[in-house]
Amino acid sequence: MEVVIVPDAEAGGELIAEAMAQLLRHKPDALLGVATGSTPLPIYEALAAKVSAGAVDVSRARIAQLDEYVGLPTDHPESYRSVLRREVLEPLGLDMAAFMGPDGAAADVQAACAAYDKALAEAGGVDLQLLGIGTDGHIGFNEPCSSLASRTRIKTLTEQTRVDNARFFEGDIEQVPHHVITQGIGTILEARHLVLLATGEGKADAVAATVEGPVAAVCPASALQLHPHATVVVDEAAASKLK
């Protein structure tokens, strides 16, 4: 695992956007796995700026979703499909034909999970998977004690994650769904390059457990230690509890 400490979130966003741009220059139809939440926004902004400046052509890029709420209509503004359309696809000038994700509104959610794992494999696998990290060490929505070999499946959010995400639902935890579909940890580990960005002091404990703790299901992000090409980019605040 490679750990890169950057001064701030913007520097982390720029560094990772440049890694994505380099990948796309070499493989224009790369499959990019993307995360939602606040952390990756500087990455998406930096990548969109490179596109505007003509520094990279993303027109053939493909975008794969990491996780999705269950039970929200697909066009709900906070469904992760909607969020990714707004925050990633539109700024990059991509339409939904470039997008793949699990169907959180499916009648048979388990079948939708299996179908998504199959679709990812048939698409050739994820080339670069962006990850954020929860304050409890989750990646995607693999909460603590998720199996390190897990596949895409339905999960129940912890109270802490629902509290953390209430800010996207007018601060009202009652509106935050209880269930999600998430790529499993085993699924995530199949991506060719994992890039985790963590910023802010609130992530410092989770980052220390990820980088310096044992590989253990209690900290799902520690599974990155098992991956041959994992990069953890942290700002100084998130790095503050590293030894």
| Residues classed as catalytic | 67, 136, 138, 143
Give yes or no for residue 13 binding ligand F6R (CB under 6 A).
no
Residues comprising the chain, all counted: 243
- With CB under 6 A as the contact rule, which of the stretches 8-16, 85-93, 104-112, 136-144 interacts with ligand F6R? 136-144
Minimal CA–CA distance to 16: which of 57, 44, 36, 37? Answer: 44
Within the chain, strands assigned E span 2-6, 31-34, 62-65, 67-69, 99-100, 128-131, 153-156, 179-182, 193-198, 230-235
State the pairing for strand pair 193-198/128-131.
Answer: parallel
- In 85-203, which residue ranges form alpha helices assigned H by DSSP? 90-92, 109-122, 159-165, 185-188
Site string for ligand F6R, 21-60 (x = CB under 6 A): --------------xxxxx---------------------
Q: How far is the CB of 130 from ligand F6R (least distance, A)?
A: 9
Give yes or no for residue 66 binding ligand F6R (CB under 6 A).
yes
Site string for ligand F6R, 104-133 (x = CB under 6 A): ----------------------------xx
Q: How far is the CB of 165 from ligand F6R (least distance, A)?
A: 7
Single out the residue of 42, 102, 140, 184 in contact with ligand F6R (rule: CB under 6 A): 140
Give yes or no for residue 139 binding ligand F6R (CB under 6 A).
yes
Q: How far is the CB of 188 from ligand F6R (least distance, A)?
A: 10
Q: How far is the CB of 119 from ligand F6R (least distance, A)?
A: 18
Select 102 or 140, whichever has its Cβ closest to ligand F6R.
140
Would you say 136 and 144 are in contact if contact means Cβ atoms under 8 Å apart? yes
Would you say 182 and 217 are in contact if contact means Cβ atoms under 8 Å apart? no
Q: How far is the CB of 230 from ligand F6R (least distance, A)?
A: 15
Handedness of CA 87, 59, 199, 148 (dihedral sign): positive
State the pairing for strand pair 153-156/179-182.
Answer: antiparallel
| Binding site residues, ligand F6R, CB under 6 A | 35-39, 66-67, 132-134, 138-140
